[in-house]
Amino acid sequence: MPCRLLLLLMVIKFLGPGETAKRRFNFLIHNVTCLKFGDLVRKLECNFQKLETNRYSLNMSGFLQRQLSKDAEFLGMIHIKPAKRMTPIKFAEVRLKICETLTMPALPIPIAKTIFNEIMTKSNAPFSCPIKGTAKRHFNFLIHNVTCLKFGALVRTFECNFRKLQTNRYYVNISVVLERQLSKDAEFLGVIHIKPAKRITPLKFAEVRLKICETLTMQALPIPIAKTIFNEIMTKSNFPFTCPIKGNVSYKITDLELSSEMFPSYTIIVDFNFTLNFYDLQKKFISVAVQGATVPIKF
């Protein structure tokens, strides 16, 4: 499967000596930058979000064109500039092989150990090598239509659209304003129907029903493709990471990327319909439907 490092909600905490010691500083992140070089990396994206004072979340995703060699390594450096110093100084440096790092019990620098443990907890990085590349696809991914519907008086406005960026890549935009706050028991039902080429009627491929508030806090869905889409939504939207979902607030999903990279390389050729229905007080109030297909690549 693709090597996708999704570092969801990597909340970095820096404290004084001991959890109970009083801090004499606040922690700020000004910027996070990700760069790729050469043709080994197919895709690399990252962003960060401030959750509250001293707490940030960092999201990263990447796809490799091939498997990393067993001797692949990383070099981490920390430079600091005290207030009265004109130029930065190197505070710490660590160079290690990636495969050895995945299996070793601890990193030599405490702050590096803390960050590494958080990464392994919040990502789908393997606990041992190999770090795999993306297997060759035999299909292209198409979206035919995206439909948004609202029901009842709970929803003030609900709009969506999509556009094709290039082959196998689409952007979806959604905006919604509610008249009131959702109840804590509000839930969603996601259903995927597929129709293989030689089948006359569709069949149900997957279904998941969860409470919205629980989903926001657990940050993990039981179906891999649903987990991928949810993580992308939280990255590209202003939805909160905890309830409540308030009324009179314009919630937006901007440039949600749907691409062939969401699917495993062994995906079969099908027409599909993905429907996401939302319920509050057991009444459906919005529905999103995506119709599309996977089609053979003509070599």
Residue 147 burial class via C-beta count within 10 angstroms: exposed 0-12, middle 13-18, buried 19 and up: exposed
Apex 259 CA angle, 195 and 131, nearest 5: 110
Name 23's Cβ contacts closer than 8 Å, sequence gap at least 6: 15, 16
Instruction: Say how far apart CA 255 and CA 247 lie, in whole Å.
Output: 23
Name 273's Cβ contacts closer than 8 Å, sequence gap at least 6: 192, 193, 194, 202, 289, 290, 291
Whether 178 and 192 have beta carbons less than 8 Å apart is answered as: no
User: Other CB atoms closer than 10 Å to residue 158's CB: what's the count?
Assistant: 18
Give me the residue label for tokens 């960026």: 165
Q: What is the pLDDT of residue 134?
A: 66
- Per-residue pLDDT of the chain (299 residues), as tens digits, is 344 333 333 333 433 444 456 778 999 999 999 998 988 887 788 888 888 898 888 888 777 878 888 889 988 888 889 888 889 998 888 888 888 888 776 667 777 778 877 777 777 777 788 887 766 778 999 999 999 999 999 999 999 999 999 999 999 999 999 999 999 999 999 999 999 988 889 999 989 899 999 988 876 667 777 788 888 888 899 999 899 999 999 999 999 999 988 888 888 899 999 999 999 999 999 999 999 999 998 75
Q: What is the pLDDT of residue 264?
A: 82
Rg of the chain's alpha carbons, rounded to an integer? Answer: 22
Q: What is the pLDDT of residue 147?
A: 97
Q: What is the pLDDT of residue 223?
A: 74
Could you tell me which of 9, 15, 13 has the C-alpha nearest to residue 49? 9
Instruction: Say how far apart CA 59 and CA 10 lie, in whole Å.
Output: 7
